[in-house]
Structure 1
Amino acid sequence: MSMRIDVWSDVVCPWCFIGKRRLERALAGFAHADEVEVVYHSFLLDPDAPQEPVESVAESLGRKYGGGPDAGRAMVAQVGSVAAEEGLDFRLAEAQRASTVDAHRLLHLALAEHGPAVQRALKEELLSAYFLRAENPAAADVLLAAAQRAGVDEDRAREVLAGTEFREQVFDDVDRAADLGASGVPFFVLDQRYAVSGAQPAETFARALEQAWADGHPVLQPVGAPGDDSASGAVCGPEGCTP
């Protein structure tokens, strides 16, 4: 019996990329990693972001919190230093503020028609496009290139982007996150038992993995007669019976 991890995140969320790396590091040291399935769900950090970008992330942050683009660049530099510790070279200050709804629709396509492994590959491609190459997360050519690299059928990806397919599933995910009490991302649910909020250290993920696995795969505890420390009674086997 495998264990499932459901992850709510957005493709323009820096802590989601960092949290992804930390979870992967924990899984690399987990004895049952081959039996763990990771599935991604949609979350919209900026539901009002435009389809066509009009400003950079640094400009957007500086406008929202004050201080202008320089203040915005300082904000993203802080998270960039943490990302570097996970081997990620962020270009977040150059990235554009744009809608991620279409990116999430493709992630639903990948899961529905190709399975969790291809969805995870697409998630990595989308995060890399945005954070490592500062590409527009709403641009059809960027999304199609990411889908193709991840192994998503190109014709289906074009078809989905041309219409509204999977849009309902995106917003269902958003509503589900609210039901679970997730006001921010990343948000991880392990085996429908344990929730891990935020990009916790890999050690925290490792402990959560062990606990969730132990709960889902209980070990039998032998019980013997009163005063019998051996916890085993007389038995019969292929070689005969014990006295």
Structure 2
Amino acid sequence: MSTRNKIALITGGSRGLGKNMAIKIAKKGIDVVITYHSNKAEADKVVAEIQALGQKAAAFQLDTSNIKLFDGFIKELTAYLNKETGSPNIDFLVNNAGTGFYGPFAEATEEQFDAAMNIHFKGVFFLTQKALPYINNGGRIINISSGLARFSLPGSSVYGSMKSAIETLTRYLAKELGPRKIAANVVAPGAIATDFGGGRIRDDKETNQRVASVTALGRVGEADDIGGVVAFLCTEDARWINAQRIEVSGGMML
């Protein structure tokens, strides 16, 4: 009888960091399910890339800021997993989906605050809660934070505050899920050259140089610097890492 591969669910897996995480996790011999917000074509490309590596993959559309959709999504996901694997369960949940928001504290609106909270904190909180019955004992939860929860740069008060909330939540998850041997950790990227936040780290030369100048390793991060760390946290070698915040920033703002 063939053994069932472990399975990771990654939100926001069609591009940027999420795509890199999905591919790096697949290279560890883990099957992958990604969610995407709107770009089905890109999500399908990621699925094809993972299948080319010899792993199973699927993509589901989900707006992770809309909690009302979660029950339907979990139903769809578990039906797919039951059919493909004979079990509705996953082993790893990577809460990666997010958007950038920049603006001074004095000008932040309630609408902007709520939009950021829904995707970066409330959505993560309740999607994890809904997924919990389907995470195998001994599984892992990996939440994505940011260097901006450790250091402060003007314009990121809303985003940085949500990521601080995620870091606190992760410690509570580690504590409360300990009896099920589920570990929960945070990966906090520094500034990364992707299309995140309108691509300003990648495309704005001045911003790029400013980040490089305050980073010990002397450059801006790439998506490829992050995915492997998340993949490592899904391996047996990382089994004793729990309730930790791992910043992957090349030594930014030390």
TM-score, normalised relative to structure 1: 0.28
User: TM-score of the superposition, structure 2-length normalised?
Assistant: 0.27
Structure with higher RCO (Cα < 8 A, 6+ apart): 1
Q: Considering only CA atoms, is the larger Rg found in Structure 1 or Structure 2?
A: 1
Answer 1 or 2: which has greater strand percent: 2
